[in-house]
Chain A
Amino acid sequence: MDSPKVNEALGVAYQIPRNSLALLMIAQIVVVLPYFMQLSPWIIAVGLFCGYWRMGVYQGRWDHPRRWIKALLVIASFAGVAVSGVSAYSLEAAASVLILAFALKLIEMKGRRDAYLVIFLGYFIIATQFLFDQSILVAIYELIATIMVTAAMVGMNQLHTRVRPLASLRLAGSLVVQALPFAIVLFLFFPRIAPLWTVPLPMGATTGISDHMTPGDIARLAQSDELAFRVVFRDPVPANKDLYWRGLVYSDFKSGTWSLGPQFKPSHPRLDENYSGEEIRYEVLLEPTMSNWLFALDTATAEASNVARTLDYRLVADDPVMSVFRYEVVSRPGELMDDRLIPVIRVREKKLPEGDNPRIRAFAQALYIDSGKDVATFIDAVLRHIRQELFSYTLQPPTLQREHSIDEFWFDTRAGFCTHYAGAFVFMLRSVGIPTRMVGGYQGGEINPIGNHLVVRQYDAHAWAEVWMAGRGWTRVDPTAAVAPERIELGLNAALSLTDRAALSLFTSVRMGDWGFLGRFLDWTDSLEHRWNLWVIGYDTRFQAGFLENLLGELTPTRIGLAILLGGSTSVGLVAIALFWRRRPVHRHPVERLIRRFGDRLAGFGYPRVASEPPGAFIRRVAEEAGLEATQVDNVVAELNTLLYNPSGTRSGTEIRQLRGQLRRLQFRLAFSLSH
């Protein structure tokens, strides 16, 4: 620790300027606030408490905390993190420690070095927030936070005696804004490299469809208008009824809950070159799900190296999707899934627990025998049964018992959502020994008319069934289409009853319905967000390579270096011009303007006006050098001095016009005598 004296001798004032301190305290609050979403409230509370204490110190009401209080706070805080249940190596733990350190340092901070530490921590905390959330709004917020922190840093270097937080803020703002162009150049051209080592990722709860499915799950998702993913089609968009975004395959059924069942190592299949049927190419920008399953149309192949395909034809990412994840997919609706069924899959997709739901088992058995044990006929019979009996489609079905829930639904309540119908269907087919499975994902989506991309939201979540048939492989059967065909043809909104619709949130109903201006506004924000995802969040190694190849041709280090250099010198050069350009002094006074113009013209003849020379003296000097009589300029000089210096003078327009005429005549006369 340097003594204050040493610091002073080094020319660094030891104390933190008050201006900077005030800004730093505000910046601290701004920086910590967004973590309300990710961290436990007590950490934020510790942060605010420290801020409050520091405010007391700032106002001179309290003293800096004593050493033992600080020690106690530090120990208590870190013990708090340790017992709070987050894993020691998780991102949450790291962020908690970071914020606690930031807050505790604030009350301890006295000298400049401490203040700089707090400032740098502040920048770090700003960046860390982006590991949790990268939306536009957060980005704008953090840009403002960056300006705040920078302003505190500016305040550190301004004169102590002044308290001018606004001036510091303004300078910090222009610094950050002026830094943006080159930052964008770097963002576009700086080579993105693969991760060097694996890091802990944020552990949010899975959003969207999960790997367990109880009948109520999808009904709950239907209440949410949160974005699931966006799709940019390279080919024409298929009809709504064909947009089955397959994501999960549920093979295990136990006590009313469907789950994934045994998993096998995924592979990276190549596209079959002999395929000649229809092909749909598109790119999906998946919102963070905190899980690694991806959504795609049948039968999907992804060419990216970090996307694999499971044995049940699902696409999975190597790592959980923590921020917007983009992947290119080729879907071939005509390609069979499993033309021959391998034993492990056959076993997996036929298994049912013993003894539950006896009524529907008997019902299925009878119907199967009636259908002549033909799979297709049997399926038709089941669907016909749904269509003909009084089944209804609703988001608010009656609650079912956990035991024998399918029996209860099929025979008693007869009201349900896609999960109920698909679940009952799969159960019936399995009970007669046909390999069948439940599939979860999304169905449909809306086209955003501005961006021309497809938007799939949580309320598009859907569940359906797949039946394996010899010669046709896994075939999609959607029992919901039997009870509510409009759901599949037109989307959820068309299938909802009035009571269902009343239960939706405002935004959800606006998104679903035709609300004119508001709807268009939402389209616009969606399209903005999409572009943000495309160009900012999703700007990864692959996309960068594509973009830069378009721009620069072949990618060589020299070219990239030159591009950064060019972009950098342009953007920095512009700022340099703005900084160093010295404008001519503006003469507000009309007489001064006249004199300056007169001086400029005479300078053209080789008689420049000396900076300190009064205008009258200048005219007399030039007149003398030009050989004019002094009396010839007396008039002009007198007039000029009156107009310039007489405080009670009127300076009317006519007088100024007169002076202008006089000066012009004088100028001609001078020019004449100077040329002789």
Chain B
Amino acid sequence: MWPGSIPPQDLQASRFGRWLDRRIPPSRQITLSQRNIFIFPNLTGFVFGGLLLLLILGAVNYQSSLVYGVAFLLGSMFLLTILYTFRNLSGLALELVGTRPGFVGEDIEFNVRVVRPQGKGREGIQLGWPEGIKQWAELNEQEAAGVRLFVKAERRGRLDPGRLLVETYYPLGLLRAWTWVDLGVQSLVYPKPIFQDFPQSTPGRRDDGQLIDPLGSDDFSDIKSYLPGDPVKHIIWRSYARSGELVVKRYASFVEPRLWLDLEEVSGPLEERLSRLTGLALRATRLEREFGLRLGATEITPAIGEAHLEPLLRELALYGLAES
């Protein structure tokens, strides 16, 4: 049993995972060296070893010096490949450049930057999360490469893709050099949005409502001097009688203009409710409406725009989850 044979899912939990945590502690930037690179023949390598044994057997039975020669040459090459394969990873610096949060069901993108030390000849390097498609890092010509890795988001909250596998079979494919690095990567996963209509807006009170129509008819607002065109029925005739000046009463309409997204006001199980709120938040932002969020004890005062959306989605993503 060697490290690579452990199924990635169990990686973190297994004893090997704990050992790995001590051996290659999490860090945002890691340089690969003999401390953290493992190397072992893969199946092809073992078959190749079998081929060498067959050749030596043939050389013994046929007493053929040159068949010995072929076997020794290939064996020696196999040995050198250890150096080549190891060198292919050695000195590589891996760094998490950033991640972009996403919604449940999406592929979450992680940007990893790989920088090779001087000297060409680093090829066939693959990076990948335990669950996810591997990507090639093109490092032969250029010194650094950005690799975009994706992980499918299954649940909202913090997504920890686990340790990043860096592996290579280069140059002959007989040996596998690999390492599991923990770049301390976490990304936020927002609830999967469910889109629906905005809830009915509630009539506002004067103190927190917003004036939506200064010439409305709901509430008395103030008095001003009459200008032609003002409604005649608003003229305060009593005042005219007293002072001879025409004044009018003004009324204004107030509405609760700010959208409040409240967990209590959407229906369904918790996850669905969070999803609905997410959908509303996205919609409101697209329509450039001001809105706030009430999630139990948490309240985010209403505002507008992308910058406002992000902390809001974050709350939705993490609601009810233990802070890790």
Chain A interfacial positions (CB closer than 8 Å to B): 8-9, 11-12, 112, 116, 120, 123-124, 126-128, 130-131, 134, 139, 142, 146, 150, 153-154, 156-160, 171, 175-176, 178-184, 186-187, 190, 192-199, 201, 322-323, 536-540, 568, 571-572, 575-576, 579-580, 582-583, 585
Q: Provide the bound-state CA to CA distance between A12 and B63, in Å.
A: 39
Could you write out 29 A-B pairs with CB less than 8 Å apart?
A11-B134, A12-B169, A127-B59, A127-B66, A128-B58, A130-B67, A131-B62, A134-B64, A134-B66, A142-B66, A157-B124, A157-B173, A158-B124, A159-B123, A159-B140, A175-B81, A175-B172, A180-B76, A182-B72, A182-B79, A190-B68, A192-B60, A195-B61, A195-B63, A196-B60, A322-B62, A538-B65, A572-B83, A582-B118
Give the CA-CA distance A180 to B74 in the complex, in Å. Answer: 9
B117 contacts partner chain A, Cβ-Cβ < 8 Å: yes
Min CB–CB distance B9 → chain A (angstroms): 12
Neighbouring A residues of B126 by C-beta, 8 Å: 11
Residue of B nearest to A162 (CB): B140
Which residues of chain B have a CB within 8 Å of any CB of chain A?
A: 44, 47-48, 51, 54-55, 57-77, 79-81, 83-84, 87, 90, 117-119, 121, 123-124, 126, 128, 133-134, 136, 138, 140, 165, 167-173
The CA of A575 and the CA of B170, in the complex, are separated in Å by 17
Q: Is the CB of A120 within 8 A of B47?
A: yes
Q: Is the CB of B77 within 8 A of A8?
A: no
Q: Which residues of B contact A127 (CB under 8 A)?
A: 55, 58-59, 66-67, 70-71
Chain B residue numbers with a CB within 8 Å of A182 are: 72, 76, 79-80
Minimum Cβ distance to chain B for residue A588 (Å): 15
Cβ-closest chain A residue relative to B131: A9
Q: Are A175 and B60 in contact (CB under 8 A)?
A: no
Asked whether, in the complex, the Cβ of B123 is within 8 Å of the Cβ of A158, the reply is: yes
Say yes or no: A197-B170 contact (C-beta < 8 A), given A120-B51, A183-B75, A187-B68: no
Q: Which residues on the A side are within 8 Å of B90 (C-beta)?
A: 580
Are A159 and B124 within 8 A (Cβ)?
yes
Our count of residue pairs bridging A and B at CB distance below 8 angstroms stands at 163
Contacting pair B67 A159 (CB below 8 A): no
Contact yes or no, A539 B65, CB < 8 A: yes
A158 touches B170 (CB 8 A): yes
B64 with A323: CB separation less than 8 A: yes
Contact between A150 and B66 (Cβ–Cβ < 8 Å)?
no
Dominant secondary structure at the B interface: helix
Partner of B73, one of A180, A192, A539, A585: A180
Which of A179, A190, A572 has its CB near the most chain B CB atoms (within 10 A)? Answer: A179
Cβ-neighbour of B70 out of A123, A171, A178, A322 (below 8 A): A123
Q: Could you tell me if B173 and A116 are in contact, using CB atoms closer than 8 angstroms?
A: yes
Bound CA–CA A235/B51 (angstroms)? 45
Q: Which residues of A contact B68 (CB under 8 A)?
A: 187, 190, 192
A197 and B61: CB pair below 8 A?
yes
Residue of B nearest to A325 (CB): B63
CB of B80 within 8 A of CB of A178, answer yes
- Tell me the nearest residue of chain A to B137, going by C-beta: A159
Partner of A579, one of B65, B87, B134: B87
Do A116 and B69 touch across chains, with their CB atoms under 8 A apart? no
Further 17 A-B residue pairs, CB within 8 A, beyond A153-B172, A192-B68, A540-B65: A116-B47, A127-B66, A127-B71, A134-B65, A157-B173, A158-B170, A159-B123, A175-B80, A180-B73, A183-B75, A187-B72, A190-B68, A193-B60, A197-B61, A323-B65, A540-B63, A579-B84
Of chain B, the residue at the smallest CB distance from A116 is: B44
With A and B bound together, what is the CA distance between A183 and B48 in angstroms?
Answer: 16
CA distance A154 to B121 in the complex (A): 12
With a CB–CB cut-off of 8 A, which chain A residues contact B79?
A: 179, 182, 568, 572
Contact A537 B66 (CB under 8 A): yes
Asked if A572 contacts B80 (CB within 8 A), the reply is: yes
Distance of A128 Cα from B70 Cα, bound (Å): 10
A92–B57 Cα distance when bound, in Å, is 18
Q: Are the CB atoms of A179 and B73 closer together than 8 Å?
A: yes
B171–A154 touching, CB < 8 Å: yes
4 smallest beta-carbon distances between A and B, as pairs: A130-B66, A182-B76, A179-B76, A179-B77
A194 to chain B, nearest CB (A): 8
Structural contact, A186 and B77, CB atoms closer than 8 A = no
A183 in contact with B69 given A8-B133, A124-B55 (CB within 8 Å): yes
Query: Is A131 a contact of B87 with CB atoms below 8 Å?
Result: no
B70 touches A130 (CB 8 A): yes
How long is the Cα–Cα vector from A582 to B134 in the complex, in angstroms? Answer: 30
Among B51, B59, B63, B83: residue with most chain A CB under 10 A: B63
Q: Give bound CA distance, A322 to B81, whole Å.
A: 35
Question: Which of B67, B87, B171 is the most central at the interface, judged by chain A CB atoms within 10 Å of its CB?
Answer: B171
* Distance of B247 from chain A, by nearest CB (Å): 73
Contacts of B64 in A (CB 8 A): 130-131, 134, 323
A146–B72 Cα gap in the complex (Å)? 13
Pick the residue among B69, B81, B165 that contacts A187 (CB under 8 A).
B69
Check if A123 sits within 8 Å of B80, measured CB to CB: no
Q: Give, as a whole number of angstroms, the nearest-CB distance from B179 to chain A.
A: 13
Cross-chain contact of A159 among B55, B136, B172 (Cβ < 8 A): B136
Contact status A123-B61, CB under 8 Å: no
List chain A residues, Cβ under 8 A from B57. Answer: 196
Q: Is the Cβ of A11 less than 8 Å from the Cβ of B74?
A: no
Give every chain B residue within 8 A of A537 (Cβ-Cβ).
65-66
Closest residue to A158 on the B side, CB-wise?
B123
In the assembled complex, which residues on chain A have CB atoms less than 8 Å from the CB atom of B165? 11
List residues of chain B with CB within 8 A of the CB of A322: 62
For the complex formed, measure the closest distance between the CB of B78 and the CB atoms of chain A, giving whole angstroms: 8
